[in-house]
Structure 1
Amino acid sequence: MKADIDHWTRRLAALAAESEVPGASLAFLADGHVHTCATGVLNTATGAPVRTDSLFQIGSVTKVWTATQLMLLVERGLVTLETRVADVLPGFRVADEEASARITLRHLLTHTSGIDGDLFLDTGRGDDCVERYVAACADLAQTFPAGDSHSYCNSGFVIAGRVIERLTGTVWDRALREQICEPLGLRHTWTLPEDVLRFGAAMGHVEGGAVASAWGLPRSVGPAGLICATAADVVSFARAHLTPGALLADPAALREAQVDVPNPYDGGRQWGIGWSLDTWDGHQVVSHTGDTIGQHAALWMLPGTGTAVAVLTNGGRSAEFQHRLIGELLAALHTVTVPEPVAPPARPVAVDVRPYTGVYERAGSRIHVTDHDGRLRMRSEPTGILVGLAPTRTLDLTAVDATTFVGRDEDDSMWNAVVFERRASGVSYLHHSGRATPKVG
């Protein structure tokens, strides 16, 4: 059963149907070979079938590719992780003057810059779009001082992409091809729509199974989330991270823990250089996920076993689907048990919720937390460019312990964890979806 692709094709189709996933592509590296299968449709409006050579948006998994690009430049001696961004990008600044001077490449690649980093700004399709985006970061506030904590930061990776442009003398898209795609022979990995459309391309599906109103993200946020690829290409990229010298001389350096994550239930418990890190059943797990408009990608590596798995989907209850699939696959390949996601405790936990009520806000999101008869309710509203693209969500929260709560959508089996942090300074944070959102009212 380990490499029985007919079996996994059947399981992929069955699990996708149960989780209402329109289409999915799976690739996994086992016993030195890449195995692939696919199921469903690329677009429910057209019925075009998913094939193993179909391209999906991998979203924020792109960040590992950008981190790899920058680490290739570190290995060449052009910069170090302690190089300040301002030393590579003269004039670089965010709203906080001290942060502008202090932020290093390590801060960017570990999500510890403190930059309020969900600026989804369209600066056009020109080759200067990343440069123009970084200039617009001058208005971004700090959620915390640089290096003080961890908060997932899209803007930080666009800034890293601009550093790559300055060091390579070419645009990020072209540098990506020259540094990674061409050396690894990845012929189904692209960033621009006119390239993607030469292949079968997935369309995202949103709430209710409707086809998304927009296909992709602006080119300006490319280094943070614009890659489209086949599952096989994603696994081939991961394979290079399991093989010293295939791309990086020391890819293991990227999976050394750099910072603990305040909400360890969102993904990994720690963060490395571009990678999320965790331990499952005694095995180190190195991973990244990515969401775009109705599409979701997940990449896992177990370095101790030489295994890598990529699952790409275009809608439905994707987190549920991917959790069940990776659980079955790792159990069959290595008898590894994947931990169950966080869930409400068997016995209710009594917590005074009043200190957590209020308004929390960061770029792209405003969160209202209210007390309803001793229970918290969280309403998240998209702001800025995300209005109309991301839904407003309301979650009724159940306490797990004094600072951790969980909630889920009515039709979802997966719980979302919310962790509240109160500091001696009086500053309060809500940690959800990897982001630290400060309390503003």
Structure 2
Amino acid sequence: MATLSEIETWLQDRLPALITEHEVPGTAVGVLFGGEVIDHAAGVLSTATGVETNADSVFQIGSITKVWTTTLVMQLVDEGKVDLDKPLRDYLPEFVLGDDEAAAAITIRQLLSHTSGFEGDIFSETGKGDDAVEKFVPTLAKVGQLFSPGEMFSYNNAGFAVLGRLIEVLRGKRFDAALREHLFTPLGLAHAATDPYEAILYRAAVGHLRPAPDAAPVPAPFWGMTRGMAPAGAMLAMRPRDLLTFAKLHLDSGTAADGTSVLSPASVEAMQTAQVKVPALGLMGDSWGLGWEIFDWDGTTVIGHDGGTIGQNAFLRIVPEHGLAVTVLTNGGDVIGLYETIVSHIVKELAGLELPALPKPPATAVPIDAERMLGTYSCEVADITVRQDDDGRVWLDQTPKGIFADLGPAPEPVELVGRNAESLIALKADNGVHMPQVFLGDDGNGHALYLHNGRAIRRAHA
């Protein structure tokens, strides 16, 4: 096994070449092992300015924020102010959906485990003021229900914005203030920013996007997403070291470095306990806890979360059995390839673990019932059509909607091949990922009711 010092040397030696290989403008990496932390950075924060990345640079952590929001909710559980299995409306009567019966039944546990069943990629613009999260909740009034609460898993951003509002109501302060008072301060975080106005005080990374599939990444047209979605991951930025301080809290049964009890051991354990199985995509966790993704790496339990904003991607993996946590923060390019190379080396050298391989097309395509899968599946952010050409090849066409339509041209058609009886997979990789598509349910006419790629996207009917 390697030492942490040897890992630090490896990062210093290899990181500059790795970001060049993967066309990543800049990255910052942190490792926690044996109670000690190392961090290293390479590249630039923006190709437009050429400002160099260092270990104190702040990157957006995207949806890793959801674990922070979950921690704030679990603090309320510890204080007896929240019961996870009571309907959200017991605490937030103004919670509305297009399906009022579902809205009345959805529990806080279901929101935390992405099993509430309503469509979750809702990015309504509610302004930049302190009331942005409060204003977001009423925008869900016409949002449809994909399935009954608790029936299955479907990743839900909007549900965590609602949880942010729950925190605001029960704490009597805006989400950002609660985050700072109840987590940043007791953890002693010095470089964590809740919005662009704070991030600009530090060396802040800018996201990069490819204007065309084969083009080099260029700075994104804007830095942050809508503030109303802050509890889901639209704004929060920090250094790797700060994120690892949070990871250590969850390794140390909720106790901060100075001995302060920030979260009860029972809540830490509850967050890491599986609540629902995830469809077999090979990209997300095998199951989901409260906030955390839960992975099975050949019999070893790993928890973590990923985050993606406008051209920034973040990765966090924690191996409780080995007291190990690794984070990789990036600002564009082939981030998956970079993540795989860095994390696979570190977990193997420090814990003897093999990073599971990402899904790839089989050498021989698996026969499929194409007729069951073909059709258009629609959600708030895109229409997705699975079609078959005259040669029998299957293609996926995606038409982005809303704010995602403003980020550039629609993606090129993606050829899909059979992965197993229930799923197809992209023949070519996009930024290092062969994206699987799982087809679930039955619409009553022999067709799949859902295309599931982490989100359950319902078949559109004329």
The TM tier, using the shorter chain, reads over 0.9
Could you tell me which residue of structure 2 aligns to residue 224 of structure 1?
232
- Which of the numbers 212, 219, 231 marks the counterpart of 1:211? 219
With structure 2 as the length reference, what TM-score do the two structures score?
0.92
CA distance in structure 1 between the partners assigned to 2:241 and 2:383 by the alignment: 37
**Does 2:443 align with 1:435?**
no
Q: Within 5 Å, give how 1:176-255 maps onto structure 2.
A: 176-207=179-210, 208=215, 209-225=217-233, 226-246=235-255, 247-250=262-265, 251-255=268-272
- Which of the numbers 327, 349, 360 marks the counterpart of 1:310? 327
Query: Structure 1 residues 331 and 82 mapped into 2: Cα distance closer, same or farther (>3 Å)?
Result: same
Instruction: For 1:356, give the aligned amino acid.
Output: M
Q: Deviations over 1:75-131 (max 9, x none)?
A: 111011112111111232100011110011011100001111111111011111111
CA distance in structure 2 between the partners assigned to 1:116 and 1:273 by the alignment: 19
Secondary structure at 1:388 match in 2? helix
- Which of the numbers 345, 348, 351 marks the counterpart of 1:331? 348
Secondary structure at 1:418 match in 2? strand
The answer to whether the Cα contact below 8 Å between 1:25 and 1:38 also exists between their aligned partners in 2 is: yes
Instruction: For 2:189, give the aligned amino acid.
Output: L
The answer to whether the Cα contact below 8 Å between 2:361 and 2:427 also exists between their aligned partners in 1 is: no
Q: Within 5 Å, give how 1:284-433 maps onto structure 2.
A: 284-372=301-389, 373-389=391-407, 392-393=410-411, 394-407=413-426, 412-423=431-442, 428-432=449-453
CA distance in structure 1 between the partners assigned to 2:254 and 2:196 by the alignment: 32
Q: Within 5 Å, give how 1:14-25 maps onto structure 2.
A: 14-25=17-28
Aligned residue-pair number? 440
CA distance in structure 2 between the partners assigned to 1:48 and 1:97 by the alignment: 51
Residue 397 of structure 1 and its aligned partner are, at CA, apart by 0.7
The answer to whether the Cα contact below 8 Å between 2:19 and 2:26 also exists between their aligned partners in 1 is: yes
Instruction: For 2:354, give the aligned amino acid.
Output: T
Residue 408 of structure 1 and its aligned partner are, at CA, apart by 5.6
Instruction: For 1:248, give the aligned amino acid.
Output: L
Specify every segment of 5 or more residues in structure 1 that has no aligned partner in the other structure, as ranges: none
Residue 305 of structure 1 and its aligned partner are, at CA, apart by 0.6
Q: Deviations over 1:236-285 (max 9, x none)?
A: 10110011141211212101000011243231110000011111132101
Secondary structure at 1:27 match in 2? strand
Runs in 1 of length 4+ with deviation above 4 angstroms?
Answer: 408-411, 424-427
Instruction: For 1:374, give the aligned amino acid.
Output: G
Q: Deviations over 1:405-431 (max 9, x none)?
A: 111656643211111113375661001
The answer to whether the Cα contact below 8 Å between 2:283 and 2:359 also exists between their aligned partners in 1 is: no
Could you tell me which residue of structure 1 aligns to residue 258 of structure 2?
none
Could you tell me which residue of structure 1 aligns to residue 84 of structure 2?
81
The answer to whether the Cα contact below 8 Å between 2:276 and 2:287 also exists between their aligned partners in 1 is: yes
CA distance in structure 2 between the partners assigned to 1:148 and 1:395 by the alignment: 30
With structure 1 as the length reference, what TM-score do the two structures score?
0.97
Larger mean CA deviation between 21-30 and 408-417 belongs to: 408-417
Secondary structure at 1:190 match in 2? coil
Query: Structure 1 residues 425 and 85 mapped into 2: Cα distance closer, same or farther (>3 Å)?
Result: farther
CA distance in structure 2 between the partners assigned to 1:334 and 1:91 by the alignment: 48
The answer to whether the Cα contact below 8 Å between 2:333 and 2:431 also exists between their aligned partners in 1 is: no
CA distance in structure 2 between the partners assigned to 1:145 and 1:138 by the alignment: 17
Secondary structure at 2:395 match in 1? strand
